[in-house]
Amino acid sequence: MRQERTVQASIFDLFATHEIGCELKAMSQWLDEHCDLLSVVARDLCRGGIKATGRQGLPAEAVLRCAILKQYRQLSYQELAFHLEDSASLRAFARLPWSWSPQKSVLQKTISAIRPETWEQINRALLSGARQAKLEDGAVVRLDSTVTSALMHEPSDSSLLWDAVRIMVRLLKRADALIGGAGSWRDHGRAAKKRARKIQFTRGRPNRVQLYRELIAITRTTLAYLTQASERLAVASTPPIAVWQVQVRHDRPLVERIIRQSERRVLAGEPVAAGEKLVSLFEAHADIIVKGSRDTEYGHKLNLPTGRSGMILDLVIEAGNPADSDRLLPMLARHVAFYGQAPRQAAAEGGFATRDNLAAAKAWGVCDMAFHKKAGLRIEDMVRSKWVYRKLRNFRAGIEAGISCLKCAYGLARCTWRGLDHFKAYVWPSVVAYNLILFTRLNSS
């Protein structure tokens, strides 16, 4: 059983006079003015098949406020649980029921249940409020892209094969525990680890190829053990075995894909396209992102437009690594759908610059469309004058500071949650927390 709002606020909920306390108070007032958002959060927290009876859980209002607190102060769940019990200001902001001190497991389970679509709806409510307060009208925008890394280590063929072996060994041990006896398989984990380490420190392709052959053979043998165990447990139908079978059905295709990928790349010397590569068994959704000549990153590409206020006007988490030039018009279309018209002026980095993009932006009503790098385009075709181009180019550079702030202070550099859905649910609250604190600062000034 879960309520949308805390029934009665405590008279002892007071905010500190410190700058952070004043910001928390202003953020709390905005959330109080938009109570309609709590019903959307409450729907996310209602799990299917759970009766609305029994012990009361955290109110939806408290869950939403705790989620914003976590990203705003960049706290782990354990740190958040401590500060909610220790800090009067944070407790007042979170609107926790009297004498409640949620544990880190409760916070993790409830905060991660809020869907990314809900966060996007909250962000749009923020932008609507900024528009009404004449803080941001979306008339002048700047667009850039960045990358948020997934929770994974630097991939290599040997590390992926070693990960596959140890995951399968873990599943085989769990299968033995489910049937109450040891199966007819051997643990090749130490042998796989030894060869993976040798590959890492071995020079010369011929020497590494022989080690890879042995490591791939070990992986195939362990996969055969797992297949036999799955067939042996197919006759049973207990809930723990069903959960085990689901995990096997998820992991087996990924292991087979890693084996094929390693054979193609290492044994056959065949290049594998970035879109076909699997870079992590644990974060199979992660993409290979290379921006320019910089380091390779593993995660997802984000497209972010901001306005003159610095608020993030939209967020798109891309699939794969699409060219920037292919994403300008879809981002402008999303802007038109929300604001009802195209921006009067827009600035973007050079990767978005093409003659077709410029012509389409002008046709949609963008008066001045400036690209950081001209890419063969004339200034007179993009904007009215060189002075306007210089102003828009300098304006575009300001988005770099916003992205840096998001990454350093709001956790956008690396997602610490697992899975694609949780990746999206992690990125969006970072943007919402950033926009909310920026809105309150601009509104107070």
Determine the 3-state secondary structure of 132 from DSSP: helix
Q: Can you give the residue ranges of every domain in the chain?
A: 19-114, 133-152+286-423, 157-276
| Averaged pLDDT score across all residues of the chain | 91
CATH number of the domain at 133-152+286-423, please?
Answer: 3.30.420
What is the reported pLDDT for 52?
60
State how far the Cα of 110 lies from the Cα of 104, in Å rounded to an integer. Answer: 10
For residue range 21-73, list pLDDT tens digits in order: 999 999 999 999 999 999 999 999 886 555 566 567 788 999 999 999 999 99
For residue range 291-340, list pLDDT tens digits in order: 766 788 999 999 999 999 999 999 999 998 999 999 999 999 999 999 99
Residue 289 φ/ψ, nearest 5 degrees:
-115, 120
- The secondary structure element, H or E, covering residue 145 is strand 140-149
Does the pLDDT value for residue 204 go beyond 70?
yes
| Residues 325 and 352: beta-carbon distance below 8 Å | yes
- How many CA atoms does the CB half-sphere of 419 hold within 13 Å? 8
Residue 140 φ/ψ, nearest 5 degrees:
-125, 120
| Residues 379 and 389: beta-carbon distance below 8 Å | yes
State how far the Cα of 163 lies from the Cα of 157, in Å rounded to an integer. Answer: 10
What is the reported pLDDT for 316?
96
State how far the Cα of 256 lies from the Cα of 345, in Å rounded to an integer. Answer: 50
3-state SS of 72-113 is HHCCCHHHHHHHHHHCHHHHHHHCCCCCCCCCHHHHHHHHCC
What is the reported pLDDT for 421?
94
Output the six-digit token pair for 91. Answer: 């407790």
Where do runs of H (alpha helix) occur along 320-409? Answer: 328-339, 355-364, 379-382, 386-409
For residue range 107-130, list pLDDT tens digits in order: 999 999 999 999 999 999 999 999
For residue range 63-83, list pLDDT tens digits in order: 999 999 999 999 999 999 999
% the chain with pLDDT above 70: 95
| Residues 426 and 415: beta-carbon distance below 8 Å | yes
State how far the Cα of 370 lies from the Cα of 388, in Å rounded to an integer. Answer: 9
What is the reported pLDDT for 13?
63
% the chain with pLDDT above 90: 78
Which DSSP letter does residue 376 get? T
Q: How confident is the model at residue 429 (pLDDT cuts 50, 70, 90)?
A: very high
Does the pLDDT value for residue 98 go beyond 70?
yes
The DSSP-derived string for 285-308 is: TPEEEE-TTS-EEEEEEEEEEEET
Output the six-digit token pair for 188. Answer: 């090749």
Q: How confident is the model at residue 184 (pLDDT cuts 50, 70, 90)?
A: confident
Q: How confident is the model at residue 9 (pLDDT cuts 50, 70, 90)?
A: low
What is the reported pLDDT for 12?
53
What is the reported pLDDT for 206?
87
Q: How confident is the model at residue 6 (pLDDT cuts 50, 70, 90)?
A: low
For residue range 148-178, list pLDDT tens digits in order: 999 999 999 999 999 999 999 999 999 999 8
State how far the Cα of 199 lies from the Cα of 195, in Å rounded to an integer. Answer: 6
| Residues 185 and 269: beta-carbon distance below 8 Å | no
